[in-house]
Every structure is written in C-alpha cells, then in structure tokens.
Amino acid sequence: LCLGGKIMNNKFVSIVIDKEEGSRFLVSDDRSIDTVDLSNDKQTSIARINIKDDITTVCRYENGESKGTISLNIGKEQVKIDSSSNKITYVDNNIRDLARLYSIDLNEGETTDVEKIRGLCKILADIMITTIHLSDYSWGFSKMVINGRKSFEEDFSPSIIIFTGIAAKYIFNKNEKNVFEDGNIGMLLCQEINNYSKNT
C-alpha cells in the first residue's frame, strides 16, 4: 500500500494506491470535483462516498454516466463522546440497534473505550465499502440503508473510489492518543476505512 499527499490537478489532496487490488482511493476536500467528467475522461468506473454528520451517500459512475445513489444512515455525529471523560453523550437509535446485532452495547452516560468504538467503526466501514458490490452484503447493510434502492443494479467494482466530506480531514490521521478529540466517531471511522483498504 502506498500512501501519499500527491496533488492531482490541484483537486485531490491525498491518494492511496492499493497495488495488490489495483484500486485507487482518492480523498478530496474539494466539493467542485466533477466525478462525471472524471469518469468520462478516464472511461472508468468510480464510486464517490460522501461521509457527512449523519448520512453517507455512495454514488456510482460508469464511463461518464451516473448509475445511481445509495444512502446509508452512517455519519460522524451518530455517536458523540466527551473527549475528556470518554463518556458517550449520544447514540443514534439505528446505530445502537446495529451495534447490538454485533454484541456491542452503546448507552448514553457510560464510559466507553477506544476498542469498543473501533469495533463499531470497523462494521460501519465494511458496510460503506461493500455497498458498491451486489454480493456479500452483511446483515448490517439492511439496517443502515435509507429507504428506496437497496443495491446497484449490477455488480460494481470501481477502479477509483473518491471519499469526500469528513474523510478529507480524517482518513490519513494516525492519531491514536485522542481519537475522540472532536467529540464524535469521525476519526476512528476514517481510520478503519483506511485499514479496510489495506486488508482487502
């Protein structure tokens, strides 16, 4: 795995190249990137994953054409944690239910630990990435998809994955000392997305 901070056309702030899989993970904080044009220029398939406070959208593009969007109930603010005490101050009900499916209990007012939240974030990262494929959906996917489309119409193996939203801030952050410093799960979630790219 090659990590870098190479600027591509002054738009991409970071790039991850997974040499074994041939996939490229581009992380951008520039919302003006035209993914359709990029897909058309490269004549390739692209997944654009935009992680926000309380929702993640996964958009598919193939040879310059948009092929649809799946929305997931995953975001950095869906679990809030006090950075000084490690106490959970808020848990979204859907996230709480998902965590219970995997024997992880999350309750407001309890003191948590990094490994418990990292375990949750591994599950969320898996759901987020595997959304772009038809096969091997976890049971967590059906819990987190928001209405409407449950999958893309055909199997989709993008050559480029672009992350936008909070990923531009967090995905290369190696901070292990205070992963809750922003009071949410954003940093750990993005660390696990990056770990996912290394382990698949």
> d(Cα 151, Cα 145) in Å, to the nearest integer?
9
126 pLDDT tier (thresholds 50, 70, 90): confident
**Neighbouring residues of 19: CB distance < 8 A, sequence distance ≥ 6:** 1, 2
pLDDT tens digits, one per residue of 142-200 = 778 887 666 676 667 788 888 888 888 888 777 777 899 999 999 999 988 888 765 54
Q: What percent of the chain is modeled with pLDDT above 90?
A: 36
Residue 67's closest CA among 9, 163, 192, 154? 154
**Type of residue at 170:** Y
Is residue 23 predicted with pLDDT exceeding 80? no
Residue 8 DSSP SS3: strand
The strand ranges marked E within the chain are 2-4, 14-18, 23-27, 45-51, 56-62, 65-72, 79-81, 88-91, 160-165
Per-residue pLDDT at 137? 58
